[in-house]
Structure 1
Amino acid sequence: MAKSKPEPQVLSSVSNALRILKSFSAIEPTKRVGELAESLGLAKSTVSRLMSTLAHEGFVIKDKDSQSYRLGVSVLTLAGIVTNDLDIHKEASPVLHKLVNDTGETTHLAVMDGLDTIYIHKEECYHPVRILTHLGRRNPSYCTSSGKVLLAFSDEQVVEDVISQGLVSHTRNSITDPDRLRSELEIVREKNYAVSTEELTEGTRSVAAPIRDYTGRVVSAVTVVGPIQRMKEYKIRDIAAKVIAAGEEASERLGYDERFFK
């Protein structure tokens, strides 16, 4: 009879410290001890000790006036190491920069984390009016173009998990019907790109295409996003062609060879 693998030993103090760090976001960049204790279900004294330790190591910084904390430079340092070491980040960076020049709009590199989509790299456009986006911010996958690309090429169970989690309406254009989402993902697979028009944020439109690794697996999505006043409907096909080409170039840089998958 095969032995089951032993459960990994988990230090509660380390786990709680990591939970605290992960609770910060672009929407909530500052936190107070009381807020953290309530949201994480921990004692204030425990949170206070952990925050003092994290502050000593540079992972959080305390504002003496407001008594709130924000993430420190040590987090940024580690983030830089991770992104610089990611093959997808290194190989796609020049592709995104070229795509900005080709389309005139901001480009992103997105990956799935759990059931959400996260931007891990961004190349800004040169227009004075830009769409405000945040690296590391979690976006619902079903109402972003990059998320729909990643869902379209994910296992079917991932799609069903997103649906079971609930398709919440963020704008009047958000997809909230499960069958409509499944149909749209099928279209994404056929066209090899996805479009999102005011589905998460009003006044914005984005176009995304897949990036594959050497095994043919879709590991990321390249996205162009801008205001609908500039990214007009009649431009979508031309923009999509450029985004698809960028995704193909990034895929080739990761070792993908389409000839082996025909």
Structure 2
Amino acid sequence: MKEKKADNDHFLSSVKNALLILRSFTMEEPEKKISEIASTLGLNKSTVSRTMATLASEGFVYKDPETKKYRLGMTILSLSGIIQNNMDIFRESQPVLNKLVRDIDETAHIAILDNTDVIYILKIDCNHYVRALTHVGRKNPVHCTSSGKVLLAYSDESTIQNVIDSGLKMYTNKTIIEPAHFKEHLKKIKKDGFAYSLGEFNEGVNSVAAPIFDYTGKVIAALTVVGPMQRITEEKIRPLAKKVIESSMEISERMGYWR
């Protein structure tokens, strides 16, 4: 019995290591050597090497024969395609986002909440260059992005407290870092039905976001529009918010939401 438990523990540990390794790849670090992965995760090089060999055999990672660096393989892309094709939010939001971007000529995203971060799952670019730290799959902090704040405003108290307890890091001199002020700010967002960020995460970049509801009335995502402060000025926030809310409600109704 003890041997069986030991085997199970070893198997679970190997699976966990494999998942940690896959999650260690980012847009900023898309390629890594065995030694880099081992150092980052605090694992033995031999353990990482064996795990990478297994992942490579199943197409989850690919090793460049010249650089000896690994990157994510085509199996990951295949799996992400399955997720996208089976998520209603992709199907229902894309035509609405396309229309909104054509109308306002600013970049739009769909974002979801992931603990203390937001993840962008869909992005439609406008014709202008936008100096914003966003791309599909990227995680950004929840407390200083318009999408994150609007998602948090409709979350339960424990989720909000978890973000505060994790620390409201200052990214610019406009980032709200005082807990009481932040909580009041979230109450106002829920009352207004939209959130905005005026250079709170990325200096010179402003954004507006509104919630997307599912058929149960639960907020499942946020629609956010982002652009430079020269185009999305403080005076334009409310008129732009009206269009963003209209689009987010259209997506919500496509998802089965009834006002």
Calculate the TM-score normalised by the size of structure 2.
0.92
Q: Measure, in 2, the Cα distance between the counterparts of 1:20 and 1:69.
A: 11
Q: Deviations over 1:171-213 (max 9, x none)?
A: 1211111111111101101110000111111111110000000
Percent identity between the two aligned chains? 53
1:214 aligns with 2:215: yes
Q: CA deviation at 1:158?
A: 0.5
1:31 aligned counterpart, secondary structure: coil
Q: CA deviation at 1:58?
A: 2.0
Q: Which residue matches 2:114?
A: 113
1:142 aligned counterpart, secondary structure: coil
Paired AA for residue 221 in structure 2 = S
Q: Measure, in 1, the Cα distance between the counterparts of 2:64 and 2:203.
A: 34
Q: Which residue matches 1:200?
A: 201
* Contiguous gaps of at least 5 residues in structure 2: 1-7
Alignment of 1:147-158 (within 5 A): 147-158=148-159
Q: Which residue matches 1:100?
A: 101
The number of equivalent residue pairs is 251
Q: CA RMSD in A?
A: 1.6
Paired AA for residue 135 in structure 2 = H
* Contiguous gaps of at least 5 residues in structure 1: 1-7
Q: Measure, in 2, the Cα distance between the counterparts of 1:45 and 1:71.
A: 20
Paired AA for residue 58 in structure 1 = G
Q: Which residue matches 2:137?
A: 136
Paired AA for residue 231 in structure 2 = R
Q: Measure, in 1, the Cα distance between the counterparts of 2:171 and 2:130.
A: 23
Gap change, CA 1:221 and 1:129, over 3 Å in 2: closer
Q: CA deviation at 1:131?
A: 3.5
Q: Measure, in 2, the Cα distance between the counterparts of 1:66 and 1:198.
A: 39
Q: CA deviation at 1:130?
A: 5.5
Q: Which residue matches 1:127?
A: 128
User: Do the aligned partners of 2:214 and 2:257 also contact (CA within 8 Å) in 1?
Assistant: yes
Q: Deviations over 1:228-252 (max 9, x none)?
A: 1111122111110000001100110
User: Do the aligned partners of 1:102 and 1:242 also contact (CA within 8 Å) in 2?
Assistant: no
Alignment of 1:27-66 (within 5 A): 27-66=28-67
Q: Which residue matches 1:145?
A: 146
1:42 aligned counterpart, secondary structure: coil
Q: CA deviation at 1:11?
A: 2.3
Q: Which residue matches 1:16?
A: 17
1:183 aligned counterpart, secondary structure: helix
Paired AA for residue 141 in structure 1 = V
Q: CA deviation at 1:42?
A: 1.7
Q: Measure, in 1, the Cα distance between the counterparts of 2:142 and 2:129.
A: 28
Q: Which residue matches 1:5?
A: none
Paired AA for residue 213 in structure 1 = D
